[in-house]
Copies of this chain bind each other. A is one copy, B any other.
Amino acid sequence: MTVNWSKKFSERSITMKASAIRELLKLVDSPDIISLAGGMPDPNLFPKETIAKIAKDVFENHGGKALQYGATEGIPSLRETLVKEGLSEGIEGLKKENLIVTTASQQGLDLVAKIFINPGDTIIVEAPSYVGGLQAFHAFQANFVTVPLDDDGIKTDVLEQKLKTLKKDGVNVKFIYLIPNFQNPSGVTLSLQRREEVLDISHKYNVPIIEDDPYGEIRFEGEAYPSLVAMDKIGNVIALRTFSKILAPGLRLGWIIADEEVIKKLVLAKQASDLCSPSATQYIADEFIREGHMRKYLELVRKTYKEKKDTMLKALEKYFPKEVSWTKPEGGMFVWVNAPEYIDTDKLFEEAIKEKVAYVIGSAFYPHGEDKHHIRLNFTLPSKEQIEEGIKRLGNILKRKIK
C-alpha cells in the first residue's frame, strides 16, 4: 500500500507549476552553456570581505540577539535604518509602524497574496510581469486581468478602461501589481506622467497598488523618478523592497512599506508563515548600511552593470537580425527581445540549448502564457565575453528563423 497523495493535495497545489525559469535553470547548469537566463546579481561584486568582517563582529558581540528569534516586524535597529532611508527618499511621514521586514521580496508577494486574495479574486498585472509575482498570486488562486506595457510602462488608458468595465460588472479588484522601474522582464520604466495617472486611477477606483521595486537603486543612466509610495498621499500604495539586488540575495531580506492597517495584517500573516526573518542576516544588513558601505557598493554595481548592458546592446546590434527589436533599459538586469510573431521562442529554446546558449522564454511572464515571441536576456550574471558570445549564438539561431 502506498499513499495516494493526489487525493490529499489542495486545489491550489494541483495547478502549481514549476517556474519555467527555475526548470530551465536546471538545464543550463552545464558549464559549457552560456546562460543569459536567470536573474541573479554578479557574485564577483559581492562585498565578501566587508560582510565577513561585519558577520564576525555581529556574532561575537551581539550573538545573543543575532542568533535568537526576533520580532515578526523585524529587528528594531534595521527597521529604524529603513525608515530613515525611506524618509530621505521622500516618503513623507514614514514611521516604523508602516514597515515590516520580510524574508526577501518573494515573501512580500506571498504575504500580500495571503492577506488580499480569496480564490477567484481579480487582480491586475502588467503583461508581461515578474514570474515570481504571478506564482505567488497563482498559489492563492487569483484571477488575472492583464494590462499591456509600452516604452513608458503600463498603458494607463487600457488600465482605466479595464477597471471601468470590471466596476460595471461589480468585480472588487483587489490590487494592481506594478514593477515601475526597469520592469522584469521588459526593462521598461514607468514615466512620471504615467505614475501620476496610475495613482489617480488607483484613487478613483479605490484599488490599491502593489509597487514591487527591486531595481530602483540599480539605475545607471537617465533621471530617476520618485517611487509611487513617495508620490501617493492617501496610503494606497504597498511598496515591496528587497536587499537581493542592492546587497545580496543570500541574506533573504526585504521589506514592505504600507498603511499601518495593512502592516498589522501582514504581521499576522508573517507570524503564521515563518515567525520572523533571520535575525542573523538582519543584523548584518543593518550594520552594512550603518557603516556606510551601501553607497559605495551600489556605485560599483551600477558601473559594472552599465558596462555589461552596453556590451549586450552592442552585441545585439551586431548579431541580431534587423527584424528583431529590444528594449534599452537605463537600469535593472534585463533586456526584453521582441521577435517577429511567427517565431515561437518556447520552441526556439531547445535549439538554443543545443547551440549552448540559454534565455528565458517570454511566455513565462504572461499569466496565460499567450505571448510566445519574446525572449528575456539577463546581463548581470554572465561575463562580457559570455554576453558577446551568447548573443552571437542566439543571433545565428534567430537569423535562420527569419522568413
Residues of A within 8 A of B (CB): 1-5, 7-13, 16-19, 22, 40-41, 43-44, 46, 48-49, 51-53, 55-60, 63-70, 72, 103-104, 106-107, 109-110, 114-119, 121, 132, 135-136, 138-140, 172, 174-175, 203, 206, 208, 234-236, 244, 248-252, 259, 261-262, 265, 267-269, 271-281, 284
Contacts A/B (CB < 8 Å), 19 sampled: A1-B234, A2-B235, A5-B261, A8-B208, A9-B265, A13-B268, A13-B269, A40-B69, A46-B68, A52-B55, A65-B250, A67-B249, A69-B249, A70-B250, A104-B274, A107-B273, A139-B273, A278-B280, A278-B281
A interface SS class: helix
A114-B10, A116-B9 are known contacts. Are A46 and B67 too (CB-CB below 8 A)? yes
Beyond known contacts A12-B114, A46-B63: 13 more, CB 8 A cutoff: A4-B206, A8-B174, A10-B115, A41-B68, A43-B63, A46-B68, A52-B57, A55-B59, A67-B249, A103-B278, A114-B139, A250-B278, A278-B280
Give the number of times this chain occurs in the complex, counting copies: 2
| A49 partner residues in chain B, CB cutoff 8 A | 59-60
In Å, the complex CA distance between A41 and B65 comes to: 11
- Residue among A2, A41, A280 with most chain B CB within 10 A: A280
**Which residue of chain B is the closest to A237 with respect to CB atoms?**
B3
